[in-house]
Amino acid sequence: MNLINTILECNRNNRTCFISYVTCGDPNIKTSGKILETLAINGVDIIELGIPFSDPISDGPTIQKATERSLKNKTNIDHSLAMIKKFRNNYETPIILFGYFNPFLQYGLKKVMRSIKKVGGDGVLIVDLPPEEAEEAQTAANEAGIELVYLLAPTSTEERINIVSKLSNSFIYLVSVTGVTGARKSLDVDLKKFIRKVKRKTKRPVCVGFGISNVSHVNELKKLANGIIIGSAIIKLIEEGLKNKGEMLKKIERFVRKIKKATFI
């Protein structure tokens, strides 16, 4: 359980785990690979690598634009697996392959789980897979020896929280708001209550994403959440740097270092 162990090791070192999200193939395959390296070198603990999908229902405008840029490059699961394999030649940072159910189903659930493991991936997150219907995917992940990450939202019922707590072989991803991804100025007032509620029901690490975008957010959450997940804020730097990729990488580097420093308790 490499993802869980990474998170717990961060916590033992008195900090919350820093998990980042980027879309594979954004703005292109070559630069996308360099972005992964930049994240790893500058302190991201776990990387979520997104597979672009034509109907990203949980993604806000920023990640939707990243998806569109990636789809123009015809990026698919095979490209994502190849990127993980190349990355793994030089870096040990755990990677989660992140996507929607349809591409995984078309690829074959058992096949994709085995392929993720083979190239050095550590886990998978299927955004639109309800835990009530996840038995086949969870079995395939278990057999392949990788972790399957589940999402819980503020609207999740007690029953769903209990199902996820029972099924999960990884950390639990708490969606901080009811809505889509995207950087926000402030966190939901009920978020801390939600985190405590889930932590009472599971022994798994709890990490929080959607809307986490700055040092202030990290400072609010780091004593309560086992990890924080940042996506849109990094994708925004990619979007702003499309014309100068060297400067883009420098901005990502500075941002990641600033967030990493804030994760210490």
Query: Is residue 69 predicted with pLDDT exceeding 90?
Result: yes
Percent of the chain whose predicted confidence (pLDDT) is above 90 = 88
Confidence of residue 55 (pLDDT cuts 50, 70, 90): confident
Taking residues 28-57, report their average pLDDT: 94
**Other CB atoms within 10 Å distance of the CB of residue 95:** 26
Domains of the chain, start order = 2-262 (3.20.20.70)
- Contacts of 245-248 with CB under 8 Å at 24 or more apart are 245/27, 245/31, 245/34, 248/31
Are the C-beta atoms of residues 127 and 58 closer than 8 Å to each other?
yes
Query: pLDDT for 167-178, tens place per residue?
Result: 999 999 999 875
- 132-169 burial, b for 16+ CB within 10 Å, e for fewer? eebeebbebbeebebbbbbbbbbebeeebbebbbebbb
Residues 183-220: tens digit of each pLDDT: 445 576 789 999 999 999 999 999 999 889 999 999 99
Predicted model pTM: 0.95
Q: Which sequence positions are flagged as catalytic?
A: 48, 59
Give me the mean pLDDT over the 35-55 stretch.
96
pLDDT reading at 95 higher than 90: yes
Q: 202 with 165: CB under 8 angstroms? A: yes
Q: Which of 9-18, 52-61, 75-84, 120-129 has the lowest mean pLDDT?
A: 52-61
Q: Which residue has the higher pLDDT, 139 or 187?
A: 139
Q: Are the C-beta atoms of 231 and 63 separated by less than 8 Å? A: yes
**CA-to-CA separations, 181 to 95, 115, 131, in angstroms, rounded:** 20, 28, 20
* Residue 181 pLDDT: 47
Beta strand 206-209 with 147-152 is unpaired
